[in-house]
């Protein structure tokens, strides 16, 4: 949150100064400086973050398949079934 607030404040200060610095407008320079300071504040308050958590990982996921002698599903009514690739 501090990144957003200080970025806007830096843009406002840079806009009030006006002019350009090395081809960049002072608004852009102020926004970069403010966002950098805000990022430091956010990291100090919120910490560096945590490890990503992975659950329910699927090892093998097949939507369609083919095989000689494999049974073809037959259903009456409504239900989800895996498809079959038929090559003739």
* Structural domain boundaries enclosing 15: 2-46
Look at residue 11 and tell me if it is in a domain: yes
Please report whether residue 7 resides in a domain. Answer: yes
Distance in angstroms (rounded) separating the CA atoms of residues 88 and 86: 6
pLDDT of residue 66: 66
Max mean pLDDT among 28-32, 73-77, 80-84 falls in: 28-32
57 in any annotated domain: no
Q: Tell me if 85 is assigned to some domain.
A: no
- pTM of the model as a whole: 0.48
Q: Does 64 fall in a domain? A: no
* Cα-Cα-Cα-Cα dihedral sign, residues 17, 21, 25, 29: negative
Q: Quick check: is 12 in a domain? A: yes
The better pLDDT of the pair 23, 72 is held by: 72
When divided into structural domains, the chain yields a total of 1
> Has residue 67 been placed in a domain?
no
pLDDT in the model for residue 1: 76
Question: Is 60 within 8 Å of 74 (Cβ atoms)?
Answer: no
């Amino acid at each position: 949150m501090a990144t957003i607030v200080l970025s806007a404040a830096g843009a406002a200060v840079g806009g009030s100064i006006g002019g350009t610095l090395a081809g960049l407008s002072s608004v852009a320079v102020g926004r970069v400086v403010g966002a950098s300071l805000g990022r430091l504040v956010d990291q100090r308050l919120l910490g560096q973050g945590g490890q990503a958590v992975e659950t329910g990982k699927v090892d093998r996921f097949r939507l369609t398949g083919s095989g000689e002698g494999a049974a073809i599903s037959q259903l009456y009514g409504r239900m989800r079934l895996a498809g079959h690739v038929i090559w003739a």
